[in-house]
Structure 1
Amino acid sequence: MLEKVKFNKKPMKKAEYKEQWDELLAKLVVLQQQAHNEGVGLVVLFEGWNGAGKGSRISDLMYHLDARSTGVYVGLDLDPDTEREFVGRECGVTGFYPIMQPFWKALGERNSITFYDRGWYTAVIQHMLYNAPAKLLLPKKEERHYLDSVHDFEQQLVSDGYVVVKFFVHMTKKAQVERLQRLHDDPVTRWRVTEKKLESHHGYETAYELYDRLLERSDYDFAPWVLLNGEDKRRTNLTIASTLVDALERALARKEADDVLKASLAAREKADELLAEERAVGAAAAAEA
């Protein structure tokens, strides 16, 4: 699935980008307020490689959105020491709490936008890389796979009235190495790249295979993936903004259609009640006569 991302497109000119970006942001700001008033919740998940710019893409949006109805959760790395010491690991148990717990605890209300800077798929990948990737990617029939929890979680979000948008920010290994090194060498951004993260590219090939298969198996109709080129900031920003605008417009249209349907059903029910009362009165009068 990752092979669908193309890295050979010509850079977009700044003037062209800014015109489209400003137009999309203006729409997004208005739609956020409408969604807030209508009780429409939006869950936006950003997954991808270290150094792909997930946090920067969220920051570009957060600068313009209403902070009162916007939240950001940053996923934490797996602690190998805690994982190693947990006594239930050999039985397939991954921790004291469900793997999805921190994500649903960070979930905003159904009138807000919740951004996840690395979410449940990163958690799944880290557990797979630590606990026998082959076995966990191809479990026995009676075993519950990590993706079962992912599917249930996203399905519950949609069923509960949220709109789920999933972005995967992709980049080549060469670009990842260069970007991480550049961030590490700059004193201003060095805090963003630890020594461990700087060396994370060594597992690129293994993680690529896991990500590719996970993306294919989790590209659900109710929560599809949107693949992004992390090496092209401008096109990526436009794709993100246009996707969010489209998602909110469709959600608001469905909400309006549902409200009209509910109003129609209520009016019909009221009319049926009045008709039943009229028939009852007529029957009583006839009986009395």
Structure 2
Amino acid sequence: MGQKAKEKQEEASYESQLRELQIQLVKLQNSLISNGDQIVVILEGRDTAGKDGSIKAITQNLSPRETRVVALGKPSDTESAEWYFQRYVSQLPKKGEIVLFNRSWYNRAGVERVMNFCTKDQYKTFMDTVNDFESILVRSGITLIKYYLDISKKEQAQRLKDREDDPLKQWKISPIDQQAQKYWNAYSKCRNEMLEKTSPQDAPWTIVRANDKKLAHLNLIRDLLSKVTYPGKAKDLLKADKEIAFQWDGKLTKLEK
């Protein structure tokens, strides 16, 4: 089989698997609407790790009325003076909604800390209170699912270059992204501390190895669907590859250096 034929076959297989999983997502949403449940999905990760693509794969065939993607920008002066979680609380799902955070309150544990956008006291307060905040959400009935997309330094460098070369991806380039390689080790340190301190039993992190975007999409969705209950659940479709999507267990050796 030639290379092009192989690539075509692999693409067809991916699209077929993705379609089956998206059918399951629609079933989940129907149940969500009927029961008035609320789901929050947090996607964090390295710059260029594929959060946008993962969110698109999840939401592509869902009802836009009951699905929201939240990607908040820099806080205003007023927001900066408020309780840190306040602007995120206003974005939480209503009954029957699923909300996906493309980056979240964990900005404070990552980019804000690395780039000195917050003080040491602000960072410490966040780390001391975030588990309690999330526990309140879970106890109030919100299903909270947290993903960290992890990629290698080499893969990130290639993706940053691809963005520079592709005129359709120019909007994705930001000054922060351009510093990602320079501050790679600092981001690793912050990631490790975040995972170690903010993965309680009621709101654990799931790591997704995302060097291969398509495998990341498929296994993230499988893992997501396996974590929730809904009628018509096809459990045989929802077995994620544990080498790609796995719950954080405290072992730093499983993460990209």
Normalised by the shorter chain, which TM-score bucket? 0.7 to 0.9
**Letter paired with 1:109:** K
Q: CA deviation at 1:36?
A: 1.2
1:213 aligns with 2:193: yes
Residue 72 of structure 1: aligned partner: 69
Residue 52 of structure 2: aligned partner: 55
- Residues 212 and 247 from structure 1, CA distance in 2 versus in 1: closer, same or farther, beyond 3 angstroms? same
Tell me if structure 2 keeps the 8 A contact 1:171–1:230: yes
Q: CA deviation at 1:206?
A: 0.7
Q: Of Structure 1 and Structure 2, which has the larger fraction of its residues in helix? A: 1
- CA separation in 2, counterparts of 1:76 and 1:214? 21
Q: CA deviation at 1:226?
A: 1.1
- Residues 131 and 30 from structure 1, CA distance in 2 versus in 1: closer, same or farther, beyond 3 angstroms? same
- Residues 33 and 175 from structure 1, CA distance in 2 versus in 1: closer, same or farther, beyond 3 angstroms? same
1:117 aligns with 2:97: no
Residue 243 of structure 1: aligned partner: 223
Percent of aligned positions that are identical: 25
Which of structure 1's runs of 4+ aligned residues deviate more than 4 A?
130-137, 250-253
**Letter paired with 1:187:** P
Tell me if structure 2 keeps the 8 A contact 1:163–1:247: no
Tell me if structure 2 keeps the 8 A contact 1:184–1:198: no
Q: CA deviation at 1:113?
A: 0.2
Q: 1:223 aligns with which of 203, 215, 223?
A: 203
| TM value normalised by structure 1 | 0.70
Residue 32 of structure 1: aligned partner: 29
Q: CA deviation at 1:136?
A: 5.8
Q: CA deviation at 1:130?
A: 4.5
- Residues 149 and 75 from structure 1, CA distance in 2 versus in 1: closer, same or farther, beyond 3 angstroms? farther
- CA separation in 2, counterparts of 1:145 and 1:52? 27
User: Residues 217-241 of structure 1: CA distance to partner in whole angstroms, max 9, x if unpaired?
Assistant: 1111111111112211122111221
The alignment's C-alpha RMSD in Å is 3.0
- CA separation in 1, counterparts of 2:83 and 2:164? 34
Q: CA deviation at 1:30?
A: 1.0
**Letter paired with 1:123:** R
SS in 1 for 2:96: coil
| TM value normalised by structure 2 | 0.78
- CA separation in 1, counterparts of 2:204 and 2:95? 20
- Residues 133 and 96 from structure 1, CA distance in 2 versus in 1: closer, same or farther, beyond 3 angstroms? closer
In structure 1, stretches of 5+ residues that fail to align are 1-10, 87-93, 254-289
Report the number of matched residues: 226
Which of these two proteins has the greater Rg computed from alpha carbons? 1
Residue 140 of structure 2: aligned partner: 160
Residue 146 of structure 1: aligned partner: 126
In structure 2, stretches of 5+ residues that fail to align are 1-6, 234-257
